[in-house]
Amino acid sequence: MAIEIPRQASADCYFESLWLECPTRIGRGTTRDAYEIPDHQDKVLKVSNCPVNFSNWMEILVHNQFKDSNDLANIFSWSWSGRFVVMERLKPLSQGDLTLHTFPPYLTDRKSDNYGRDASGKIKALDYAALNIAAPRDDFL
Ligand SMILES: Nc1ncnc2c1ncn2[C@@H]1O[C@H](COP(=O)(O)OP(=O)(O)OP(=O)(O)O)[C@@H](O)[C@H]1O
Ligand SMILES: [Mg+2]
């Protein structure tokens, strides 16, 4: 039977069980690790490695606010505490891919590791936890 993705905001124990099925880590940042999910090659499991899960919560909120822009990797689910997030898996970029990219004005961490391509080839952010919350309202339009 295919591995199931727990529903959003369900208890962390269900995501811990999912994590046990995900032995392959595909990335490591300062606050999260990302794992391949067997049976779901289009998704990653992001696991916070710090106690407050701040970066995952920022992404859940930012995704909720800006998902219609199609600039952000989709979020499919998250755990009750925010320790776990299931996100659309993006492919790594090649050198120079961001040269002509128009960054969403509210995102401040613009290093290439934080961006990737979706299945259609569109460049999207995969780490959107760092925000310019002081931007004037016009910058968001
Ligand atoms: N949606 C995704 N698709 C593919 N790879 C991903 C995805 N999310 C994270 N990764 C991989 O995991 C790495 C770490 O994830 P992420 O950048 O979200 O963590 P972080 O701790 O916030 O990073 P930073 O050190 O930049 O603050 C990324 O650089 C990337 O290689
Ligand atoms: Mg990052």
Domain CATH code at residue 19:
1.10.510.10
- Which pTM was predicted? 0.94
Residue 117 located in a structural domain: yes
Query: What pLDDT does 133 receive?
Result: 73
Total structural domains in the chain?
Answer: 1
**Mean pLDDT calculated for residue range 18-30:** 98
Ligand 1 atom closest to the Cα of residue 109 is 26
**Do residues 136 and 106 touch, judged by C-beta distance below 8 A?**
no
Site residues for ligand 1, CB cut-off 6 Å: 26-32, 34, 44, 46, 55, 73, 87-90, 113-114, 116, 126-127, 129
Q: Which atom of ligand 1 is nearest to the CA of 130?
A: 27
Can you give the residue range of the structural domain that contains 111?
12-140
Q: Is residue 28 part of a domain?
A: yes
Chain center to CA of 99? 22
Ligand 1 atom 2: residue of nearest CA: 89
CA distance 57 to 70: 19
pLDDT digits (tens, 9 = 90+) for 30-69: 999 999 999 999 999 999 999 899 999 999 999 999 999 9
Q: How confident is the model over 108-133, as pLDDT tens digits?
A: 999 999 999 999 999 999 999 999 87
